[in-house]
Structure 1
Amino acid sequence: MDRILVLSLHGKPVPFTTNWWIKTWDRSGKPLSDKIAIQEQFVLIGQQLSARASRIFVIMDLNAKLYNLNLAHAQNVNIEILSLGLGYTAVTTSDGGIGLSYTYFENKRSCMALNRHMDYEGQTADQLLEKIKSDNPVERSMALALINALNYKEALNLPVDENNKIMFDKFNIGQDRRVAMVGYFPPLVRIFEEKGVVLEILDSSRGLGIKEEFYSKLNNWAQVLLLTSTSVLNNSTEEILAHAGQNLKSIMLGPSTPPLVAEAFNHLPVHMLAGTVPLDKEKSLKAIRHGMGTPVLHKFSRKVFMDLGF
């Protein structure tokens, strides 16, 4: 039986030699009962278990890569504005950057969205960057907005795809194309219905889809996956992509997407990063303060992409 092997780091650094608790899934996404404890060097794990596992992913390795790739820059700039809105979060930096991220609230039960008070404005950006590894999704939202701000100038030079035509053409999204979507994107859903795309959606916040069935279709049915960048905020990116079929083409999209840090995704089967770059900073910040969402933010931004290749 083919297995997908997932190594869980729980967001913490793991030494080269340590105890690895390994949980396996079959290709349908059903957990297998055995749990294996291994004490080996990381490089040996892949060699020794490759015959048993179809793919290996490290849970939340993405957060560590996003941190490491942006640390040097973050240490040399300050945060000017941190705006935490009900829909989106924005961060501006002293070198002229601005970045967006979805504000991810999880089981909000009190007036306190954060663990403790911290004034990041006027401080070096590395203090907030550290929060990409936090267990608090609001802190991760702030940190992801910062990461996009740190890469703002380079993102302005990325190719533009305002109407998604480049994405549709590159991934042959048209009649009878089998597309899986994590996160509900109403404008895209309408276009796909008009094009005759066969669509499968998973969005737990809307009660759409059954995870186990969706994961099975990712492995043996879907030809294209559209993955919301909110998956970075709820730490589900690696879990979802662990179920990707061998020929599946994946696109991460949404205003939170960090399109300039392609290296952070080199351990994952992601083929395009499609994000949003604000052009009018003041209007973007005001929209966020007023609780506006994607349709309004797009009025003051441009949609860009980075092709990671097949």
Structure 2
Amino acid sequence: MSSKNNLVSLIKEKTNDLSLPEISRVYFPDVEIKPDKDAEFGLIELADGSAGFFYAWLGDRQDDPASLYSEKDFIGRNPIELAEHYQYDDIARCSIGLGAINAISQHVFKSHSFVLPEPENSLGSLILNEDDHVGMVGYFPPLVKAISKLSTRLTVIEKKEIIPDADYRLELSLDPASLRQCNKILITASTMLNNTIDEILSYSAHAEYTVLIGPSAGFLPDVLFEKGVNAVGGSTVLDTDQAFERLKKRDRVGDAARKYIITKDHYCL
């Protein structure tokens, strides 16, 4: 099965003996399409305060969720019903389904008292040396800048037309097969939405270390660990009221949430 189907099955399996809290709050932003903006985030909260981020807009590749759904339609519902939307091919519906999966996963972590470790660095705790060749799926200027400072060879897989900073040392490629020449790989969580994650991982099987990170990677990592990923980094919400307020103001969530990284070697749930 695909990673999508496996993740939905995993969530159902892990919550089979749990009494899941209902959906208590949802935020769908009214998307403002701007050429200099790549993504906006929405948020789904359960009655116990567990919350999951989702991409509300991915450039011109996704419809406005607010045009497809009404927030009030989900209040009081079992989040598993919404999680099943992750299996849709439509990216907007799929994205909201992943948000529900993220919220449910955060509840599962809480139920098992699983501590979400803080990452060692902005690269999802990926440790780099000068002789490494990093493959990055998706162009992320802050991460590209961090890697460039290390004089590490970098290949970026990006299908959108971009103009990198002249100071950045990188090779751009449209072909994910270019990952075969990289020994360490950094993947964005957006690949969990656009049906590319399985293809990307097929070109990453040889890598010494593979990391998937992003605010919307708050899901149980079991499926990706089984496919060879070494670490998954997401974001957990610390203050839901602040998070919702800041998102509505189109501000950064900031200290209302924190990043974490789960490694395969230290995961047991």
Q: Are residue 63 (structure 1) and residue 23 (structure 2) matched?
A: no
**How many Å apart are 1:285 and its aligned residue?**
1.1
Decide which structure has the larger Cα Rg and report it.
Answer: 1
Match of 2:115 among 143, 157, 181: 157
SS at match of 1:167: coil
The answer to whether the 8 A contact 1:162-1:304 is kept is no
Task: Give the number of the structure whose residues are more often strand, by fraction.
Answer: 1
Alignment match, 2:36? none
The answer to whether the 8 A contact 2:106-2:218 is kept is no
Residues 239-250 of structure 1 aligned to structure 2 (within 5 Å)? 239-250=199-210
User: 1:117 and 1:275, CA in 2 relative to 1: closer, same or farther beyond 3 A?
Assistant: closer
Alignment match, 1:99? 52
Structure 1 residue ranges without an equivalent (≥5)? 1-57
Alignment match, 1:80? 24
The answer to whether the 8 A contact 2:185-2:209 is kept is yes
Alignment match, 1:185? 140
Residues 240-279 of structure 1 aligned to structure 2 (within 5 Å)? 240-259=200-219, 261-279=220-238
The answer to whether the 8 A contact 2:49-2:240 is kept is no
Amino acid at match of 1:256: S
Q: Are residue 226 (structure 1) and residue 179 (structure 2) matched?
A: no
The answer to whether the 8 A contact 1:229-1:253 is kept is yes
Q: Which moved more, 1:107-116 or 1:248-257?
A: 107-116
SS at match of 1:284: helix
Structure 2 residue ranges without an equivalent (≥5)? 32-39, 164-171
User: 1:300 and 1:184, CA in 2 relative to 1: closer, same or farther beyond 3 A?
Assistant: farther
State the distance in 2 between where 1:118 and 1:205 align: 35
Q: Are residue 203 (structure 1) and residue 158 (structure 2) matched?
A: yes
Alignment match, 1:217? 178
**How many Å apart are 1:77 and its aligned residue?**
2.5
User: 1:200 and 1:166, CA in 2 relative to 1: closer, same or farther beyond 3 A?
Assistant: closer
User: 1:110 and 1:299, CA in 2 relative to 1: closer, same or farther beyond 3 A?
Assistant: closer
SS at match of 1:305: strand
SS at match of 2:99: helix
Q: Are residue 302 (structure 1) and residue 258 (structure 2) matched?
A: yes
State the distance in 2 between where 1:96 and 1:112 align: 22
User: 1:309 and 1:211, CA in 2 relative to 1: closer, same or farther beyond 3 A?
Assistant: farther
**How many Å apart are 1:225 and its aligned residue?**
0.8
The answer to whether the 8 A contact 2:20-2:78 is kept is yes
The answer to whether the 8 A contact 1:160-1:304 is kept is yes
User: 1:226 and 1:247, CA in 2 relative to 1: closer, same or farther beyond 3 A?
Assistant: closer
TM-score normalised by length of structure 1: 0.69
Q: Which moved more, 1:191-200 or 1:113-122?
A: 113-122
The answer to whether the 8 A contact 2:133-2:153 is kept is yes
SS at match of 1:303: strand
Residues 100-115 of structure 1 aligned to structure 2 (within 5 Å)? 100-105=53-58, 107=61, 113-114=67-68
Alignment identity in percent?
Answer: 22
Amino acid at match of 2:26: L
Alignment match, 2:169? none
The answer to whether the 8 A contact 2:231-2:263 is kept is yes
